[in-house]
């Protein structure tokens, strides 16, 4: 009898665990029919990712955190002058303002096994490197030159996110007593007593005049620490070397994403974000509708776990209406009135082709299908889709909804000249513009989901999706403008075609809308047209002969990663000589654009000038370090066959 009670008790506890896991791992599907094995599959990934040392703390790139406990070793700097003192407690890449720190990012592996960056601040000019020594962490801080005025390195300890643990300092050793282990932190330089350090936890204070080493687990000399760092750097170079001429591209892509990889404590997860500055502004983290699907795809080059986690965690942010919001913020606010371009199905399909595990499709398909259906329900405008924004419940009382501005946000191309002069219809909840790019992406999304449905044996849904794609593909022929040789956006108030041309007009190739004759016209007359898109730096977000091009600011002429990337995917569908030539040129010029800026300043920029090819041109409005900039680099990995061919359907031979 006691044995039976134990069995019943264990079954009860297992069921409770399964329910809690489902609510945590797949929110919004707590009452779903999703099998328990999906939760357990993802929990294994989640647990593997959320452990060990890395720059998990979104507030500073030189804060090294141990998961799952949340013990932090934060590097801070104290500048001494004859009169005043300055304190740099948190360090971020690309911060704006006067007298802020300047960071040149270097390599950063996803697992944090090797990182390097350079910091300039006040009179400080130093390099910070870190590496793993089995389960231990080592850090080396090496001044490039002796500071003109004294600078102290402050090694702060902390327990992040209100995690349990106790911290202490004895002599030159810092100690963290954690629930299941004890971690000691050692320093190669002697502690200098300074009671005026701006921290509330135990710390070490050392003058930064020569290389300073920090290690956990046991004391290590500077030379030992240098050796560990060299070994981890060599491992990275060896992995990168597998990609031959793309080895530096590999390192830059991984760094561009890894420096913005964080642990998000509210939902206890490891996630890729576009940038720490955005995370700071938006309450701890920020996901964007299409950005985060691109990040998930790029991480698939190296990490199956991270790619899967990025998709699943992004989908958990869907609204009650069932769509992926424009942005989803750490302060619990999100864009309840608008979405962003429907690239989710396209990217998930490609990730699945790289790592074909059926459970991943089972875990994501229904959310993606719900989003696909939402577009038809909310954004249909006289037979085709238009970007929009609608009135809805918003607990945060966002004032700018149901407006042209928020409809522009839904497009992801906020202030694109394509939308200048186009009215917003508050009754329709859309702009009065049938959007070529949106409808093309939507058709491609339908086709991607139909392929997934076939794998899952969802015949009814596959038929629904293919039927919808077919109808919209036929309807899109109404946007073909014979004289121009392009599919053009069309006004629904005046029924006139718009002549403001953007790379989004190449997206019908992604949806396989044009026949071969039309496709060749599109490329020969527009892609290779030096008055429109052709040039040394491509693709401008509006044509070179457009009246807004010289402004370059934001979407008025700058080169944007998603436009190049989605245009490249579009070109893959037509294996014709002129289109193959365009594809090769786009891949090569995107890579040059990306690597030039990486080599020059260590930047992975939000957008780049199509006049100078730089990411810090004064005419731009561009974050200096924005993870989706790595899309310029990932194109070459597709071109060289390191990622599955996008034009191949799921299940076919790659």
What integer best gives the mean pLDDT of the chain?
Answer: 94
Does residue 640 surpass a pLDDT of 90? Answer: yes
With cut-offs at 50, 70 and 90, classify the pLDDT of residue 651: confident
Beta bridge partners of 270: 263
| Contact criterion met (CB below 8 Å) for 92 and 203 | no
Mean pLDDT, rounded, for 152-159: 98
Residue 269: both structure tokens together = 């997860």
User: Where does residue 3 rank: exposed (0-12), middle (13-18), buried (19+ CB within 10 A)?
Assistant: exposed
Q: Which domains does the chain have, with CATH numbers?
A: 57-241 (2.70.98), 533-654 (no CATH)
Residues contacting 532, CB < 8 A, separation 6+: 501, 526, 543, 544, 545
Q: Is the pTM of this model over 0.85?
A: yes
With cut-offs at 50, 70 and 90, classify the pLDDT of residue 653: low
Q: What is the pLDDT of residue 7?
A: 38
Q: What is the pLDDT of residue 459?
A: 98
Residue 302: both structure tokens together = 């190296």
With cut-offs at 50, 70 and 90, classify the pLDDT of residue 484: very high
Q: What is the DSSP letter of 334?
A: B
How far is Cα 599 from Cα 595, in angstroms, rounded to an integer? 6
DSSP helix/strand/coil, 310: helix
pLDDT in tens, 579-633: 999 999 999 999 999 999 999 999 999 999 999 999 999 999 999 999 999 999 9
With cut-offs at 50, 70 and 90, classify the pLDDT of residue 26: low
Percent of the chain predicted with pLDDT > 90: 91
Of 623 and 11, the one with more pLDDT: 623
Does residue 409 surpass a pLDDT of 60? Answer: yes
Of 7 and 511, the one with more pLDDT: 511
pLDDT in tens, 490-506: 999 999 999 999 999 99
pLDDT in tens, 529-569: 999 999 999 999 999 999 999 999 999 999 999 999 999 99
Does residue 1 surpass a pLDDT of 90? Answer: no
| Contact criterion met (CB below 8 Å) for 118 and 104 | yes
With cut-offs at 50, 70 and 90, classify the pLDDT of residue 38: confident
How far is Cα 300 from Cα 509, in angstroms, rounded to an integer? 24
Residues contacting 215, CB < 8 A, separation 6+: 133, 136, 137, 138, 139, 185, 186, 224, 225
By residue count, the chain amounts to: 654
pLDDT in tens, 182-198: 999 999 999 999 999 99
Residues contacting 381, CB < 8 A, separation 6+: 388, 428, 430, 432, 434, 492
Residues contacting 578, CB < 8 A, separation 6+: 520, 523, 524, 528
How far is Cα 498 from Cα 490, in angstroms, rounded to an integer? 6
Residues contacting 433, CB < 8 A, separation 6+: 386, 387, 418, 419, 422, 489, 490, 491, 492, 498
With cut-offs at 50, 70 and 90, classify the pLDDT of residue 12: very low
């Amino acid at each position: 009898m006691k044995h039976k009670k134990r069995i019943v008790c264990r079954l009860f506890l297992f069921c409770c665990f399964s329910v809690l896991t489902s609510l945590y791992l797949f929110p919004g599907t707590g009452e779903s029919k999703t099998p328990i094995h999906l939760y357990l599959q993802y929990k294994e990934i989640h647990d593997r990712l959320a452990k060990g040392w890395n720059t998990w703390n979104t507030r500073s790139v030189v804060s090294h955190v141990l998961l799952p406990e949340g013990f932090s070793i934060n590097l801070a700097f104290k500048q001494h002058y004859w009169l005043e003192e300055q304190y740099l407690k948190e360090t971020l890449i690309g911060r704006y303002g006067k007298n802020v720190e300047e960071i040149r990012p270097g390599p950063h592996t996803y697992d944090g096994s090797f990182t390097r960056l350079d910091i300039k601040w006040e009179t400080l000019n130093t390099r910070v490197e870190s590496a793993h020594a089995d389960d231990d962490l080592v850090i080396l801080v090496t001044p490039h030159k002796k500071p003109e005025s004294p600078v102290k390195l402050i090694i702060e300890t902390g327990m992040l996110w209100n995690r349990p643990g106790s911290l202490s300092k004895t002599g030159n050793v810092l100690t963290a007593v954690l629930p299941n282990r004890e971690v000691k932190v050692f320093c190669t330089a002697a502690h200098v007593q300074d009671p005026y350090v701006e921290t509330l936890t135990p710390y070490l204070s050392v003058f930064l005049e020569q290389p300073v080493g920090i290690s956990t687990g046991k004391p290590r000399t500077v030379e030992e620490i240098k050796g560990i760092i060299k070994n981890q750097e060599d491992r990275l170079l060896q992995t990168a070397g597998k990609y031959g001429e793309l080895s530096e591209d590999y390192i830059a892509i991984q760094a561009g994403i890894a420096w913005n990889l964080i642990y998000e404590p509210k939902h206890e997860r490891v996630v890729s974000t576009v940038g720490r500055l955005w995370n700071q502004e938006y309450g701890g983290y920020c996901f964007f509708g299409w950005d985060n699907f691109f990040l998930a795809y790029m991480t698939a080059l190296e990490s199956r776990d991270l790619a899967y986690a990025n998709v699943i965690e992004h989908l958990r942010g869907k609204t009650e209406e069932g769509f992926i919001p424009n942005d989803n913020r750490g302060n619990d606010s999100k864009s309840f009135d608008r979405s962003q371009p429907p690239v989710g199905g396209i990217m998930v399909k490609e990730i699945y082709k790289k790592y074909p595990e059926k459970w991943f499709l089972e875990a994501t398909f229904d959310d993606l299908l719900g989003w696909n259906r939402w577009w038809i329900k909310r954004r249909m405008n006289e037979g085709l889709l238009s970007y929009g924004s609608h009135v809805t419940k918003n607990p945060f009382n966002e004032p700018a909804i149901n407006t042209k501005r928020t409809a522009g946000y839904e497009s992801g191309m906020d202030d694109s000249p394509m939308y200048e002069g186009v009215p917003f219809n508050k009754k329709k909840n859309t702009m009065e513009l049938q959007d070529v790019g949106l409808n093309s992406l939507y058709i491609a999304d339908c086709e991607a989901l139909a392929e997934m449905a076939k794998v899952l044996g969802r015949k009814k849904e596959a038929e629904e999706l293919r039927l919808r794609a077919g109808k919209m593909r036929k309807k899109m022929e109404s946007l073909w403008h014979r004289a121009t040789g392009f599919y053009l956006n069309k006004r629904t108030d005046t029924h006139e075609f718009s002549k403001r041309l953007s790379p989004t007009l190449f997206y019908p190739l992604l949806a396989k809308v044009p026949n071969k004759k039309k496709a060749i016209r599109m490329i020969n007359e527009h892609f290779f047209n030096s008055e429109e898109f052709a040039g040394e730096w491509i693709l401008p977000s509006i044509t070179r002969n457009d009246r807004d091009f010289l402004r370059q600011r934001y979407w008025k002429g700058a080169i944007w990663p998603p436009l190049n990337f989605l245009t490249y995917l579009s070109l893959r569908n037509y294996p014709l000589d002129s289109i193959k030539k365009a594809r090769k040129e786009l891949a090569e010029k995107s890579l040059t654009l990306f690597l030039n800026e990486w080599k020059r300043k260590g930047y992975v920029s939000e957008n780049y000038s199509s006049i100078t090819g730089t990411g810090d041109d004064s005419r731009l409005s561009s974050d200096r370090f924005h993870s989706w900039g790595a899309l310029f680099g990932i194109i070459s990995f597709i071109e060289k066959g390191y990622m599955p061919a996008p034009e191949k359907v799921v299940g076919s031979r790659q």
